Structure 1
Amino acid sequence: MKNVYITRIAKFLPNEPVENEEMEEKLGIINGKASKARRIILRNNQIKTRYYALDKEGNVTHNNAQLVAKAVEGLCDDTFNKSEIELLSCGTSSPDQILPSHAAMVHGFLKSGNLEVNSPSGACCAGMNALKYGYMAVKSDQVKNAVCTGSERTSSWMKSDIFEDEVAHLEAVEQQPILAFNKEFLRWMLSDGAGAVLLESEPNGKTPLKIEWMEGYSYAFELETCMYAGGEKLEDGNLKPWSEYPADVWGKMSLFAMKQDVKLLSENILKKGVASMKLAMEKHNITEDDIEYYLPHISSYYFKENLYKEIENQGLHMPWEKWFLNLQKVGNVGAGSIYLMLEELINSGKLKKGDRIFLQVPESARFAYSYAYLTVV
């Protein structure tokens, strides 16, 4: 087995940062009324700026695959050409279409020559699953290098016109034309962007990071769906997919909008997160003393203090000085967030040889968690 190193890292954030007061202008107003939930949600998540692949008029400037292609191109220079990439592994929650796969579409924009593509599906863990596939491929000497990415382009999923059919339908049946909170919640949470890493079996580059190990855990066997798109959650907790609904109700029910069961999220995301964190740390016999930088992907600063408390409650300790977050500046980029955090840390100038970095990525879709442990070499 080969050693595996992150030797290059790049990001692409579209357009200019969007301030809180600009969000509704970009995404649009639903039913002609400003959102009452927006300020409450933003006060809790404490995100100050985010990025949208939309211009000033709300027109799309990049699709998801184009965002990723830009990030991948950021890995390349005179000493490493995109034609040298042997494996392209791309994870996202928000692919541009059902078929072809996300990585195939990225490859189409790169026009980089023949290579293997891999497109893990899912939510936030999709970016880590993309990394793990590349990690295993390089480690087992299947390929000499791999480019792995995480990205989201959710802004177009959150635009007001996505919900207009549903609001019109509610008015027609004499119901209150108010969007359900589980549909509106994510409108004020998500951001667009892409991150990419180059994996190689030699510690090249200015700040190479050795991937010591990666782990993943799922609690779908005991918890029902929490975040979803392309279906509707039934009273019994099961998810009914869009393909089982008549086409004429897809818009009336906003079936393709991203939705979140907020109550289920708050009850489980931290407890299962720390439980799986303990499993990973115990399996590899590490403690907080073996970690210089802790990078937890959190969707909102609402969870920051509570995550710290839950870590303490379950018998672990993670001092604040080890935490590294950038949510306030770039927003919640889902599968891309961990790449953007790591990119900022690497370029901060803080890292020194021997530093160890612990990555933690939860996804609330059906409660899955991914981990990676890195060493600066």
Structure 2
Amino acid sequence: MLKDVFITRASAFLPNDPVYNADLEEYLGYINGKKSRSKEIILRRNGIKERYYAVNKEGKSTHTNAEMVANAIRGLFKNDPDEITTIELLSCGTSSPDQIMPSHAVMVHGCLPETSNIEVVSPSGVCCSGMHALKYAYMSLKLGDKSKAVTSGSERIAIAMTADKYEEEIQKMQELEENPYIGFEKDFLRWMLSDGAGAFLLETEKSKEGLSLRIDWMEACSFAHKIEPCMYMGGDRLENGDFQSYKDYEPADLINKSLMSIKQDVKLLGDNIVKLGNELLLTSLKKHNINIEEVDYFLPHMSSYFFKQQIADVLAADGLSIPEEKWFTNLATKGNVGSGSIYLMVEELFNSGKLKEGDKLLLMVPESSRFSYVYAWLTVC
């Protein structure tokens, strides 16, 4: 018999002190000694006021991704540290692991020597990877294979956006007497992304100490068969539209073309990210016989407040209007933490005292990398 699955606790870890807009280049540095030409425009549009970086003003790392997740997980068990030994499954998603191998989740497990021998899984991806981690744990508990799991979403991206990562490329531009500024598709993301980690405890029994969130369903979908890569790292799009891996470039190109920096096709993003996500929402609500008016809290992961009105307009056009007072996001104060953002939103709302039994939460996580989406429906109980 299938079991109910509950999020019984939520925890977050944000490294260091908040970083405000005026101080961003004090942490990430000035590329070629010059102020960014696009930073102020991007910041006005994205609406982020503060975020967190796992780097200091000298551009040195203060935490690894795995360490941040381990700290978030320990926060789940702060009232009973020994309970951490009862975890049966660790499922961790990120788009910015500390290394290519070993996998992210086993490195997190290595930062938790107080745990036991457990199953560990590392879903790959970008923003959706945290939700895929959640879905794996949800299904494992649903089927009765496990009874207690921890799942996480996290990012450590600031260290990949510091000025020194682009200096060789800029030097090449100067030698060629080209414009010695970083391209917009790279500069855009320097002011959009931040660091942090969130974690959930999943159990097959609801909490005896307070409210829980029952996971009623999760739906995921990719549109990669229709659209080319939009956001990428470790490769580049060629003029003919093909995507080429960093493995197929000369070693010098890793630096000269800054292939390990993140790039974003902003036009492709704007043309597709909202409308494709709504396709999945429509089919998901129909599949589960849900009326959008049942939603009490709508938690949309957005990279920028620029997309908020677009999302609202597309929802309204499809008869799925969600009143403004039902929207919940902490993008302005936590920044865009990629796969960790939905964890940070749920954690803040879950621990806010605002929720009451019977409330319905709709989680929306889009991923612009090649247009994937995950929705989840939760009930407070």
TM-score, shorter chain, exceeding 0.5: yes
Instruction: Tell me which amino acid in the other structure corresponds to 1:86.
Output: E
Partner of 1:292: 296
Deviation at 1:190, TM superposition (A): 0.4
Partner of 1:137: 140
SS of corresponding position for 2:283: helix
Deviation at 1:80, TM superposition (A): 5.6
Deviation at 1:84, TM superposition (A): 1.3
Partner of 2:127: 124
Q: Distance in 2 between matches of 1:92 and 1:367?
A: 16
Partner of 1:264: 268
Deviation at 1:222, TM superposition (A): 0.3
- List aligned pairs for 1:1-377, cutoff 5 A: 1-76=2-77, 77-78=79-80, 81-111=83-113, 112-204=115-207, 205-377=209-381
Query: 1:8–1:75: 8 Å Cα contact kept in structure 2?
Result: yes
Instruction: Tell me which amino acid in the other structure corresponds to 2:257.
Output: M
Q: Distance in 2 between matches of 1:18 and 1:92?
A: 22
Change (3 A) 1:196 1:22: same
Deviation string, structure 1 residues 114-170 (Cα, Å, up to 9, x no partner): 111100010000000000000001111111111000000100011001111111111
Q: Which moved more, 1:261-270 or 1:105-114?
A: 105-114
Query: 1:168–1:177: 8 Å Cα contact kept in structure 2?
Result: yes
Deviation at 1:173, TM superposition (A): 2.3
Deviation at 1:276, TM superposition (A): 1.3
Deviation at 1:172, TM superposition (A): 1.9
Query: 1:225–1:237: 8 Å Cα contact kept in structure 2?
Result: no
Instruction: Tell me which amino acid in the other structure corresponds to 2:326.
Output: K
SS of corresponding position for 1:74: helix
Deviation string, structure 1 residues 97-122 (Cα, Å, up to 9, x no partner): 10000001000011122111100010
Query: 2:198–2:340: 8 Å Cα contact kept in structure 1?
Result: yes
Runs (5+) with no aligned partner, structure 2: none
Deviation at 1:237, TM superposition (A): 2.4
Q: Distance in 2 between matches of 1:147 and 1:226?
A: 31
Instruction: Tell me which amino acid in the other structure corresponds to 2:189.
Output: L
Change (3 A) 1:246 1:320: same
Q: Tell me the matched-pair count.
A: 377
SS of corresponding position for 1:325: coil
Deviation at 1:36, TM superposition (A): 1.1
Q: Distance in 2 between matches of 1:244 and 1:150?
A: 30
Q: Distance in 1 between matches of 2:71 and 2:249?
A: 37
Q: Distance in 2 between matches of 1:327 and 1:237?
A: 33
Q: Distance in 1 between matches of 2:242 and 2:319?
A: 34
Deviation string, structure 1 residues 281-314 (Cα, Å, up to 9, x no partner): 1111112222110001000000011110111122
Deviation at 1:238, TM superposition (A): 2.2
Deviation string, structure 1 residues 325-371 (Cα, Å, up to 9, x no partner): 10000000000000000011111111000001000000000000001
Deviation at 1:79, TM superposition (A): 6.9
Deviation at 1:30, TM superposition (A): 0.1
TM-score, with structure 1 as normaliser:
0.98
Q: Distance in 2 between matches of 1:314 and 1:164?
A: 47
| RMSD between aligned residues | 1.0
TM-score, with structure 2 as normaliser:
0.97
Identity of aligned residues (%): 54
Instruction: Tell me which amino acid in the other structure corresponds to 1:106.
Output: V
Runs (5+) with no aligned partner, structure 1: none
Runs of 4+ more than 3 Å apart: none
Deviation at 1:195, TM superposition (A): 0.2
Instruction: Tell me which amino acid in the other structure corresponds to 1:38.
Output: K
